[in-house]
Amino acid sequence: MGSSMWMVVVLFAGCLQLSSCFRLTSTTDNVTENYSYVIVMDGGSSHTNSYVYEWPTVKEHGTGLIRQKNGTRCNAVLSNFRENPSGAGISLKTCLDVAQDNIPQSQWSSTKVLLGATAGLRLIELEDKAASAAIIQSVRDYVRVNTTFVMEPGNIDVLSSEKEAGYAWTSINYIQEVFQTNALLPASRRNATWGSLEVGGASAQFAMEVPSSEIPSKFSIRSFNHDYQLLTWSFLCYGQNEAHRRYRGLLIASQSFRNLTYDACMPIGTDPIAIKHTDLFDQTCSRLNVPASQKKTVYYITGGGDEPQCRRETKRLFQMYPNQTATVCPFQDPDCSFQSTKEQFAKVPSGRFLAKGGFYFAAADLRTITNNSFELSPFDADGYDRARLTVCAKSFDELKDLLLIHTAMRIDFLLRLCFMATYNEILLDEVYGFKEEQLREMVIANDVQGQDVGWAFGWGLVASTDPAPSSTGSPMTNGSTAPSIVSTTTSGSDVTSPRWHTILVAVLLLAVGTSSAY
């Protein structure tokens, strides 16, 4: 080999070594030292959860590889501040203090606070927009005045039902690594996504990808170079707490507001439970003008212990308005929208769904007190129903005996368990209309690989994502734009980029040209 060719080899090796050095200096320090943060607060109908998420500044495909650094449950319930809106902001002090403790002080001024108030505040918004707006403004003011975090008004608000369902779907498919796997595949061959189901405190929601333009989508997201169109729904007043409130209201009304109402879903032998009129018939989801002659300050309910009747009465939640008027619309909205949803659902190919929230809590409790008699992943629907029948057949004394074994459980939850398990079974089987093969592929869980799959994680993921190349963002339901999960080139010197390939080739050609001249 001539000296000129040796020079080519040496130059080539030198360039490779040089590029390797650039790789080390341009990325490793950023990954180990530079992190970004976001605070996401889930203002639910029974409590507020606050999460701190972090991700390395250097992203993959324009998306931060986020992880949860902290999760805090706060006692604050924003919807409880209807009569005192100004107190809402300071009620979140503990959550914000914990967030500060988990974020380096140097990053506070660049960390956004994202708060989504969900169904509890949506209910207030239906009847008192001024109170709802005042509660939200109180939170905005507190964050702006008492912290150095980034407070943008649009990031602290009542979360739309479409976003709540869509962000939950995003969480599941990121944590299950569907997005990451699909990044390597053409759109025509990408893997099927997971659907998302949830029963919260005041609403129930689901989201799933729609396969074609035949079905109109309600939520769009771009993730790892793929666009996803989702069908999302949120049914207000059908979360576990509001559904149970409506169920009791229907019972009392159907039994003519008498002194003692029998609840077939509660165990026989239950001591009478007192329920205030204002806690039942003056609430948004169960409001009813009770005739003056039948109106009482307090109503009493006891157990009937009759599972077949329990199921019939639970189904009435999807068949009757609170005033006992029949309806053919399962979720009773003016447009009877779920009828078209169910028709669209039938067009979607069978896929996997993850069910969480009230689905998980009821199923997990059933499984625990029946000695793990069925599986949650994948879901054993037949085993679930056998366990449900077993629990619904127990007397009050038998339920109390279970507390001696399962000391972490509470009697008030056990008294509602037959109802909730029955409600979920009807929702999946008869209302949503899941087929047997779909139920067999379903997973009931509140987390995947130790990561909570609630909507908050999905919003954090979107917040970590660079805007789409068009800079317009991904369209959202309300016509606004938000950051999309897109593929972009990371900042800094990247030796795998075409620019470095061009330099290497140019050096080689120069060397070869020089050798030819001799």
Q: Which residues are catalytic?
A: 164
The span from the CA of 210 to the CA of 227, in Å, is: 11
Binding residues: 201-205
Is the omega angle on the peptide bond into residue 469 within 30 degrees of 0, that is, cis?
no
Q: How far is CA 397 from the centre of its chain?
A: 37
What distance in Å separates the CA atoms of residue 62 and residue 112, rounded to the nearest whole number?
Answer: 18
Angle at 207 between CA 204 and CA 213, to 5 degrees: 140
Tokens of 479: 């016509």
Count other Cβ atoms within 10 Å, centred on residue 502. 10
Question: Cα–Cα distance between 360 and 504 in angstroms, integer?
Answer: 56
DSSP letter for each residue of 479-514: S-EE------PPSS--TTSHHHHHHHHHHHHHHHHH
Positions at the binding site for ATP: 201-205
Number of residues written out for the chain: 518
Label residue 504 exposed, middle or buried (CB < 10 Å: 0-12, 13-18, 19+): middle
Angstrom distance (rounded) from CA 492 to CA 394: 65
Single-letter code of the amino acid located at 468: A
Distance, CA of 159 to CA of 375 (rounded, Å): 33
Q: How far apart are CA 221 and CA 178, in angstroms?
A: 14
What does residue 507 show for φ and ψ, rounded to 5 degrees?
Answer: -65, -40
Are the C-beta atoms of residues 59 and 113 closer than 8 Å to each other? no
Helix axes 3-23, 498-516, angle to 10 degrees: 160
Tokens in use for 96? Answer: 């914000």
Q: Are 433 and 345 in contact (CB under 8 A)?
A: yes
DSSP summary character for residue 376: B
Cα separation, 384 vs 125, whole angstroms: 37
8 A C-beta contact, residue 113 and residue 150: yes
